[in-house]
Amino acid sequence: MLLAERNAAANTLAAYRSDLEDFAGFAARRGEAPAQARVATLRAYLASLSAAGRSARTAARRLSALRRFHRFLLREGVRSDDPTELLDAPKLPRGLPKYLSEQEVDALLAAAAGRPAGLAEVMVAALEILYATGLRISELLSLPRAALAGDAAVLMVRGKGGKERLVPLSDAARDAAAALTAGRKGRWLFPGRDPRRPLTRQGFAQGLKLVALEAGIDPARVSPHVLRHSFASHMLARGADLRSLQLLLGHADIATTQIYTHVLAERLQRLVEAHHPLAVARASGG
């Protein structure tokens, strides 16, 4: 169902398979088939995750997989009830997204441009596009070469679940892509060692680590998703609204985009300090 109806990505399918196999093993040890598991077994399974030291986020992901599994069973008539409706989701700590400063992004781009020929063009194009659009790494690496042909001002992206969205391109991103593809043929914008296949995440991660070291930034702080967070945070800091950001990032629910409201809070605080009469008077000593 996930593949045929939801067009789920391979990584998503693998994650669901792993989570459900883990639960199936637990249910089997209690003498139950996973499709006939009782509420008590489901509760015991979630409790076992906590006892084993698994994080609340892991437990929440496992519960999400179990909810979808049991809704499927209910819809297909395999079960007449959904036992996961009686389960409470674990409370997740609300962490702030990690992002780089604008100066650090500039340093990354400068370091990428200084890499040896060949690698420089790849890393500059990748970083310019990631930072200009907020793409997920899977969306970036699956871009066909034709996607950035010509003077297109926007990029058509196929995101999660096969959903398409348009994102605007900066002049710098277009120029970097043009430099990367000049005089080159092939299907992919970022080809791998085998030009018939796109560059892998691992291959890109290795290049990004080298660039981070050259820029004087701890590689542990730099990843494609950190660049996505940086794009979103910097956009909000410069006046973008949450609804527009939701569309650019391809979030199905604006609640997902609201993790960036810390940036809005900081901006509002600066606005108050800069423009509120009492704040202005105090700053001037009045």
Q: Is-contact 245 257, C-beta < 8 A?
A: yes
Q: Is the pTM of this model over 0.75?
A: no
Domains, in order of start, for the chain: 10-86 (1.10.150.130), 102-267 (1.10.443.10)
pLDDT in tens, the chain (286 residues): 888 877 777 888 898 999 999 999 999 999 999 999 999 999 999 999 989 988 888 888 899 999 999 999 999 999 999 999 988 877 766 666 788 999 999 999 999 999 988 889 999 999 999 999 999 999 999 999 888 766 678 888 887 777 888 888 899 999 999 888 888 888 999 999 898 999 999 999 999 999 999 999 999 999 999 999 999 989 988 888 889 989 899 888 888 888 887 666 666 666 677 766 765 555 556 5
Task: Single out the catalytic residue among 67, 79, 160, 262.
Answer: 160
What pLDDT sits at residue 94? 60
At residue 90, what is the residue type?
A: P
Task: Single out the catalytic residue among 62, 70, 174, 228.
Answer: 228
Q: How far apart are CA 242 and CA 272, in angstroms?
A: 20
Looking at residue 188, what DSSP letter applies? Answer: B
| 260 carries an active-site annotation | yes
| 75 carries an active-site annotation | no
DSSP string, 89-126: PPPPP-PPPP---HHHHHHHHHHHHTSPTTHHHHHHHH
Query: How far lies 239's CA from each of 43, 105, 266, 279, in Å?
Result: 45, 19, 12, 22
Task: Single out the catalytic residue among 260, 270, 275, 276.
Answer: 260
Instruction: Tell whether the torsion through CA atoms of 246, 250, 254 and 258 is positive or negative.
Output: negative
| 30 carries an active-site annotation | no
Share of the chain above pLDDT 70, in %: 90
What pLDDT sits at residue 283? 56
Left, alpha or beta for 134 (phi > 0: left; psi -120 to 50: alpha)? left
Task: Single out the catalytic residue among 54, 79, 158, 225.
Answer: 225
Q: How far apart are CA 193 and CA 204, in angstroms?
A: 12
Task: Single out the catalytic residue among 16, 62, 70, 136.
Answer: 136
- What tens digit of pLDDT does each residue of 1-41 get? 888 877 777 888 898 999 999 999 999 999 999 999 999 99
Query: How far lies 253's CA from each of 92, 138, 243, 247, in Å?
Result: 18, 20, 10, 10
